[in-house]
Chains A and B, each alone.
Chain A
Amino acid sequence: MTGEDKLLRIEGLTKAYPGVVANDGVGFAVAPGEIHALLGENGAGKSTLVKMIYGLVKPDSGTMEFRGSPYMPPEPRAARAAGVAMVFQHFSLFEALNVAENVALGMENPPPIRQLAREIREISETYGLPLDPARLVGDLSAGERQRVEIVRCLLQDPKLLIMDEPTSVLTPQEVEILFHTLRKLAREGTAILYISHKLEEIRSLCDHATILRGGKVVGTCLPREKTARELAEMMVGTEFKSTDRSGRTLGETVLSVAGLSLPPMTQFGPALKDIRFDLRAGEVLGVGGVAGNGQEELLATLAGERVSAPSTVKLHGTDIAGLGPNARRAKGVLAAPEERLGHAAVPNMSLTENAILTGTVRKPLTRKGFVDLAAARSFAEDVIRAFDVRTPGPHVAARALSGGNLQKYVIGREVLQEPEVLIVNQPTWGVDAAAAAAIRQAILDLAAKGAAVIVISQDLDELMEIADSFAALNEGRMSAPVPTEGLTLEQIGLMLGGAHGMQEAAL
């Protein structure tokens, strides 16, 4: 292929941060109308690479060529003017404003709001992205919020659309809608740079893939010609170790939840509505669903941060619904919240202090209320050793750890306290594949020893891998758990309540 028929061509792009080379001589090219995957683990350098293309980060060296001429955007505005648009993993939307107002805020010269609303409607119909311009963003699902971001990009008529992990917040049906839209855009000549670590998706959607590892391009391929396992091994660089879920027998019921209803914690948060399930010893219950549908609320309620009506939560038949977090810890009910910094751990405190955060009830870290720093340090060291947390030592502040390492620490801290019931929310979110595998194995090992575990996760593959039973959480309601064996993605999608906005699309 010659240079003229490529839309974007990158050569030798390098970007170093103190202590780490994020991108090292990266080069690849994207043709018009091509869906090009950037595949790599967390920390492989995908985000830095697209940030340079979008003008958010300036490369140390290397060249970029866009539509045949040199391209080096000093800021995102210049990138947008050149025809590059980006949908971020985390949305930048105002919940208290409606869709059209949010779109207008992201534009240089927005047209009058009524005209803009018309344009939004047109685009959303053309590309099969049902969206009502007058609705408040706070009332939208994650999938619908993503559509707002996509429509905002499409209004600029981009030549290259960058999508950063777009499916992590979507139900399977919403993923289908998104892929339909992306394929249509590609047919019309828009190139799409698609970042993901989900292999099946890339195999079904993308024409080409560039694989990054440790900041370097380690390979390119046609994803349709590779198996998911081959892609994974290219991505991780070693052979994949699958989790071992043998050696478990389900015991008697440990935790039973019935008629659990609670009002929302925040203005736009969901209420919990009549949640009921039984959990047996040695069982791993997977709770699927898009974040923001009551996951945080469910964890907070089971962990004792919020108390619920009497008899709604029972441990071995004893009512624990009114107990606080420490009283529940004393009885063996432990939890690891989703938000690592600020909820599961205190960012500015050392790992030793973070061991004290939840460890004082079940571990002898205090004597008559006085903190035993030596004991706390040794407990922190135990967690670091047992869970292979990469850190100079327990004196390091929690915020200095990478996401994966801190997650291993947080999960390890609870697991080493030998819980009878453990509730974890998004245990492997933003964690690299090796750490994620270690965390999943730790959960399975814990269950094998007879603990009951609830894993709340958006990652359906993960739940299929480790859970014995599956329940969907949608708008604060939880479906009755069903055995995971033989469950298909299709069925799960239906349990999750299908795609938001499908009804509107049918109209």
Chain B
Amino acid sequence: MIQLIKRPTPSKAWAWATPIIAVFATMIAGGILFAALGKNPFEAIRVIFWDPLFGSNAAYFRGQLLVKAGPLILIAAGLAVGFRAGIWNIGAEGQYIIGAICGASLALSVYPSESAWLFPAMVIVGALGGWLWGMIPALLKVTFGTSEILVSLMLVYVAENLLAYMAFGPLKNPEGFGFPGSRNLQQYPSAHNPELIAGTGAHWGVAAAIVAIIATYILMHRHIAGFRIRVAGEAPRAARFAGVVPARLVVFCLGLSGALAGLAGLFEVAGPSGQITDSFNAGYGFTAIIVAFLGRLHPIGILLAGLLMALTYIGGDMAQLMLQLPAAAIQVFQGMLLFFLLGFDVLTNYRIRIGKAQAA
């Protein structure tokens, strides 16, 4: 019989080892899956994990890595703060969309006048948009006790419809020959979020992600406010005893994660994507939830997890292209990663004892 025995103190070593074990377990289980689909499992794993970094076209893919990892890390850094406090913002995708719409609207409303102030203003407006979208579930929770999980999730669909309306209506490019979608901000110098170092894919969003990681690390692990946030998640009553006001915490966490998601949306629309279209959102807001957990809700972990997740995306696309693996198989593979991660997480707080049964 296998028994789980609670450790007296959580194991630091296992907390760092479990993500690595989970990645390996995912490779093995994924390999079996790919083999069952009639593909060479070793080749598939190599295409997903190795080729984007060190393969023949790696130069291109390495740039893509930061482009994809940037928004994931930026959003996940904010989400993790709330998750640590037990406040579950599931609607980062919606806040991401609203941030993009707000920032793009500002730029398009002053088009084509050029100004050095435009891009910073867009950044502020984008963050504000995400913050406001996060305030809706926050205020509903504080005043009426609604579930922020449901409300924030539902607001994603509202945001998606708003996005489609904007792409086909007010923000539609008047010179776009009737095609849906806004003007391309990449061709609007003042509004463009350019690559900072050519060939790396690093735009302002990537810089913001790094700042967010450092800032949330300081907040959560050095500052008393972060300490109280962690207490609130671990033991709500103890948090109240320590002087935490739950309502204020809800507003802060949903506001912060909303603002960072909004920023991610703004950097995306002004940079890699360039325009508001009805298919502008690519699921970063949802994937960031996985990234947050994959990174143990720890800023450094999130940084690594975001890069890993981006890698599986790029590698997954490549595997679809080169090995004709179905898209669903790649999604199952990514799902496995989260599954193993949460599964092995048990080892941080428990140890396994394999032996004969205790009770007859």
The chain A residues found within 8 Å of chain B, CB to CB, are 57-58, 74-75, 303-305, 324-327, 329, 335, 337, 339, 341-350, 353, 356-358, 360, 366, 369-371, 395-397, 399-400
Q: A325-B243, A356-B224 are in contact. Are A346 and B8 (CB under 8 A)?
A: no
The reply to whether A325 and B241 form a contact with Cβ atoms under 8 Å apart is yes
The reply to whether A396 and B235 form a contact with Cβ atoms under 8 Å apart is no
B5's nearest neighbour on chain A, judged by CB, is A18
**In whole Å, how far is A59's beta carbon from the nearest beta carbon of chain B?**
11
Contact of A339 among B222, B224, B237 (CB under 8 A): B237
CA distance A305 to B231 in the complex (A): 15
B residues near A347, Cβ cutoff 8 Å: 234-235
The reply to whether A344 and B245 form a contact with Cβ atoms under 8 Å apart is no
The reply to whether A370 and B223 form a contact with Cβ atoms under 8 Å apart is yes
**In whole Å, how far is A81's beta carbon from the nearest beta carbon of chain B?**
16
The reply to whether B241 and A397 form a contact with Cβ atoms under 8 Å apart is no
Contact of A369 among B10, B225, B237 (CB under 8 A): B225
Q: How many A-B pairs fall under 8 Å by CB?
A: 78
A residues near B8, Cβ cutoff 8 Å: 396-397, 399-400
A329's nearest neighbour on chain B, judged by CB, is B243
The reply to whether B234 and A346 form a contact with Cβ atoms under 8 Å apart is yes
Q: A353-B227, A371-B227, A397-B10 are in contact. Are A345 and B240 (CB under 8 A)?
A: no
Q: A357-B231, A396-B9 are in contact. Are A324 and B243 (CB under 8 A)?
A: yes
The reply to whether B359 and A58 form a contact with Cβ atoms under 8 Å apart is yes
Contact of B237 among A335, A342, A350, A395 (CB under 8 A): A342
Is B360's beta carbon under 8 Å from chain A?
yes
Q: A397-B8, A400-B8 are in contact. Are A58 and B360 (CB under 8 A)?
A: yes
A361's nearest neighbour on chain B, judged by CB, is B243
**Residue-wise interface mask of B (232-250) relative to A, using a CB-CB cutoff of 8 A (1 in contact, 0 not):** 0011011011110100000
CA distance A305 to B8 in the complex (A): 30
Number of interface residues of B (CB under 8 A): 22
Known: A343-B237, A343-B238. 9 other contacts (CB 8 A): A305-B241, A324-B243, A325-B240, A343-B235, A357-B231, A370-B224, A395-B9, A396-B9, A397-B9
Is B358's beta carbon under 8 Å from chain A?
yes
B residues near A370, Cβ cutoff 8 Å: 222-224
Contact of A348 among B224, B234, B237, B359 (CB under 8 A): B234
B residues near A348, Cβ cutoff 8 Å: 10, 234
**In whole Å, how far is A456's beta carbon from the nearest beta carbon of chain B?**
15
**Residue-wise interface mask of B (128-148) relative to A, using a CB-CB cutoff of 8 A (1 in contact, 0 not):** 000000000000000000000
A residues near B222, Cβ cutoff 8 Å: 370-371
The reply to whether B227 and A345 form a contact with Cβ atoms under 8 Å apart is no
CA distance A491 to B101 in the complex (A): 73
**In whole Å, how far is B145's beta carbon from the nearest beta carbon of chain A?**
15
B residues near A326, Cβ cutoff 8 Å: 242-243
**In whole Å, how far is A416's beta carbon from the nearest beta carbon of chain B?**
17
Contact of B238 among A324, A344, A369 (CB under 8 A): A344
B residues near A369, Cβ cutoff 8 Å: 223-225
CA distance A352 to B223 in the complex (A): 15
CA distance A378 to B235 in the complex (A): 24
CA distance A395 to B231 in the complex (A): 16
CA distance A357 to B231 in the complex (A): 8
A residues near B237, Cβ cutoff 8 Å: 337, 339, 342-343
CA distance A401 to B227 in the complex (A): 21
The reply to whether A346 and B243 form a contact with Cβ atoms under 8 Å apart is no
Contact of A366 among B224, B231, B242, B245 (CB under 8 A): B224
CA distance A33 to B111 in the complex (A): 96
B residues near A329, Cβ cutoff 8 Å: 243
21 contacting pairs across A/B (C-beta < 8 A): A58-B360, A74-B360, A75-B359, A324-B245, A325-B242, A326-B242, A342-B237, A343-B238, A343-B241, A344-B238, A346-B235, A347-B235, A348-B10, A349-B234, A356-B224, A356-B227, A357-B231, A357-B238, A366-B224, A369-B223, A369-B224
Most buried by B among A344, A357, A360: A357
Q: A324-B245, A371-B223 are in contact. Are A345 and B238 (CB under 8 A)?
A: yes
B residues near A360, Cβ cutoff 8 Å: 224
A residues near B235, Cβ cutoff 8 Å: 341-343, 346-347
B residues near A75, Cβ cutoff 8 Å: 359
A296's nearest neighbour on chain B, judged by CB, is B237
B242's nearest neighbour on chain A, judged by CB, is A357
CA distance A341 to B234 in the complex (A): 11
CA distance A341 to B6 in the complex (A): 16
B residues near A58, Cβ cutoff 8 Å: 358-360
B9's nearest neighbour on chain A, judged by CB, is A397
CA distance A215 to B235 in the complex (A): 34
**In whole Å, how far is B330's beta carbon from the nearest beta carbon of chain A?**
36
B234's nearest neighbour on chain A, judged by CB, is A346
A343's nearest neighbour on chain B, judged by CB, is B237
The reply to whether A303 and B241 form a contact with Cβ atoms under 8 Å apart is yes
CA distance A342 to B230 in the complex (A): 13
**In whole Å, how far is A296's beta carbon from the nearest beta carbon of chain B?**
10
**Residue-wise interface mask of B (1-35) relative to A, using a CB-CB cutoff of 8 A (1 in contact, 0 not):** 00000001110000000000000000000000000
CA distance A184 to B223 in the complex (A): 63
Q: A348-B10, A396-B8, A400-B9 are in contact. Are A337 and B225 (CB under 8 A)?
A: no
CA distance A327 to B245 in the complex (A): 13
A residues near B238, Cβ cutoff 8 Å: 342-346, 357
Q: A58-B359, A371-B224, A399-B8 are in contact. Are A349 and B241 (CB under 8 A)?
A: no
B residues near A353, Cβ cutoff 8 Å: 227
CA distance A189 to B224 in the complex (A): 63
A57's nearest neighbour on chain B, judged by CB, is B359
B residues near A324, Cβ cutoff 8 Å: 243, 245
CA distance A396 to B222 in the complex (A): 19
A359's nearest neighbour on chain B, judged by CB, is B242
B360's nearest neighbour on chain A, judged by CB, is A74
CA distance A369 to B226 in the complex (A): 10
B residues near A399, Cβ cutoff 8 Å: 8
**In whole Å, how far is B357's beta carbon from the nearest beta carbon of chain A?**
9
A residues near B359, Cβ cutoff 8 Å: 57-58, 74-75
**In whole Å, how far is A249's beta carbon from the nearest beta carbon of chain B?**
32
B residues near A304, Cβ cutoff 8 Å: 243
A residues near B223, Cβ cutoff 8 Å: 369-371
Most buried by A among B230, B242, B360: B242
CA distance A329 to B231 in the complex (A): 18
B225's nearest neighbour on chain A, judged by CB, is A369
**In whole Å, how far is B225's beta carbon from the nearest beta carbon of chain A?**
7
CA distance A358 to B241 in the complex (A): 8
B residues near A358, Cβ cutoff 8 Å: 241-242
B residues near A371, Cβ cutoff 8 Å: 222-224, 227
CA distance A372 to B50 in the complex (A): 43
B residues near A397, Cβ cutoff 8 Å: 8-10
CA distance A128 to B210 in the complex (A): 72
CA distance A25 to B171 in the complex (A): 83
CA distance A339 to B9 in the complex (A): 20
**In whole Å, how far is B245's beta carbon from the nearest beta carbon of chain A?**
7
**In whole Å, how far is A87's beta carbon from the nearest beta carbon of chain B?**
22
**In whole Å, how far is A329's beta carbon from the nearest beta carbon of chain B?**
8
CA distance A75 to B225 in the complex (A): 49
Within 8 A of A (CB), among B313-360: 358-360
CA distance A397 to B235 in the complex (A): 14
A residues near B243, Cβ cutoff 8 Å: 304, 324-327, 329
B residues near A400, Cβ cutoff 8 Å: 8-9
CA distance A325 to B234 in the complex (A): 19
**In whole Å, how far is B37's beta carbon from the nearest beta carbon of chain A?**
42
B222's nearest neighbour on chain A, judged by CB, is A370
**In whole Å, how far is A395's beta carbon from the nearest beta carbon of chain B?**
8
CA distance A397 to B8 in the complex (A): 7
CA distance A188 to B237 in the complex (A): 48
